[in-house]
Amino acid sequence: MARPEKPVRGTGPGADLARLLRRLRAQARMDYRSLAAKAGFAASTLAAAAAGGSPPTLDVALAFGGACGAAGPDLDEIKRLRELAVSVDQESERTWRVRETARAVDRARARSTPKKKRPVSQPAPDPDGSSAQFMRQLRALRVWDGEPSSREIAHRAIRARSYEMPPSRTTISEALSPRRGHLPALSVVRAIVDACSGPVDDWTDAWRAIRLRELGYEGEGEGEAQLG
Q: Is residue 204 part of a domain?
A: yes
The domain tally of the chain equals: 2
Q: Number of C-alpha atoms within 13 angstroms, CB side, residue 32?
A: 18
Domain check: are 144 and 94 in the same one?
Answer: no
Domain check: are 153 and 107 in the same one?
Answer: no
pLDDT at 156: 81
Domain check: are 104 and 149 in the same one?
Answer: no
pLDDT at 218: 66
Q: Is residue 123 part of a domain?
A: no
Q: What is the CATH number of the domain that holds 166?
A: 1.10.260
pLDDT at 222: 46
Domain check: are 136 and 222 in the same one?
Answer: yes
Domain check: are 153 and 79 in the same one?
Answer: no
Domain check: are 92 and 153 in the same one?
Answer: no
Q: Give buried/exposed letters for 186-204 (b at 16+ CB in 10 A, else e).
A: eebbbbbbbbbebeeeebb
Q: Is residue 5 part of a domain?
A: no
Q: How far apart are CA 106 and CA 100, in angstroms?
A: 10
Q: How far apart are CA 51 and CA 49, in angstroms?
A: 6
Domain check: are 21 and 94 in the same one?
Answer: yes
- Whether the CB-CB separation of 38 and 62 falls below 8 Å is answered with no
Amino acid at 31: D
Q: Is residue 215 part of a domain?
A: yes
Q: Is residue 97 part of a domain?
A: yes
SS3 12: coil
Q: How far apart are CA 86 and CA 98, in angstroms?
A: 18
Domain check: are 96 and 135 in the same one?
Answer: no
- One pLDDT digit (tens) per residue for the chain, 228 residues: 566 788 888 788 888 999 999 999 999 999 999 999 999 999 999 999 999 888 899 999 999 999 999 989 999 999 999 999 888 877 776 776 777 788 888 888 877 777 666 677 899 999 998 999 999 999 999 999 888 988 888 888 777 656 667 788 888 888 888 888 788 888 888 989 888 888 989 999 999 999 899 888 865 544 444 444
pLDDT at 29: 94
Domain check: are 54 and 142 in the same one?
Answer: no
Q: Give buried/exposed letters for 7-24 (b at 16+ CB in 10 A, else e).
A: ebeeeebbbbbbebbbeb
Q: Is residue 201 part of a domain?
A: yes
Q: Is residue 29 part of a domain?
A: yes
Domain check: are 140 and 99 in the same one?
Answer: no
Domain check: are 173 and 105 in the same one?
Answer: no
pLDDT at 163: 60
Parent domain of 72: 13-112
Q: Is residue 105 part of a domain?
A: yes
- Whether the CB-CB separation of 29 and 86 falls below 8 Å is answered with no
- Whether the CB-CB separation of 154 and 172 falls below 8 Å is answered with yes
Domain check: are 140 and 221 in the same one?
Answer: yes
